[in-house]
Homo-oligomer: A and B are copies of this chain.
């Protein structure tokens, strides 16, 4: 959708491009609509468009709405907080990849998907 963000697209349109199951796709679209990322229009000639500008939609926000980001923010061993003075065994090792990962999600927007040329959808 981000590659063609100006136009309203129906589930059918999207299904024809992306080869993911149609019914599943529709459920995801409904979820995204409920979360306010896209705007749904029902009825004949309906479909979906982005509800907000692409450069304001961060990956972290989308993931957060779907499954929560918290699972990534804790430490690998146990999900509770990991105090610096008594860290879990993986704490130091995991810190760098975890931060890089979270930083990517928190600083990348859907607009960044459009930056490349010659893009495959799958």
Contact = CB atoms under 8 A, between A and B. Distances in A.
A96 interface: yes
Contacts of A68: none
For the complex formed by this chain, how many copies does it contain in all?
A: 2
A48 to B, nearest CB: 18
A45 interface: no
Interface in A63-122: 77-78, 82, 85-94, 96-97, 100-101, 104, 108, 112-113, 115-116, 118-122
Contact of A97 (B85, B93, B101, B119): B101
Interface of A: 2-3, 77-78, 82, 85-94, 96-97, 100-101, 104, 108, 112-113, 115-116, 118-122
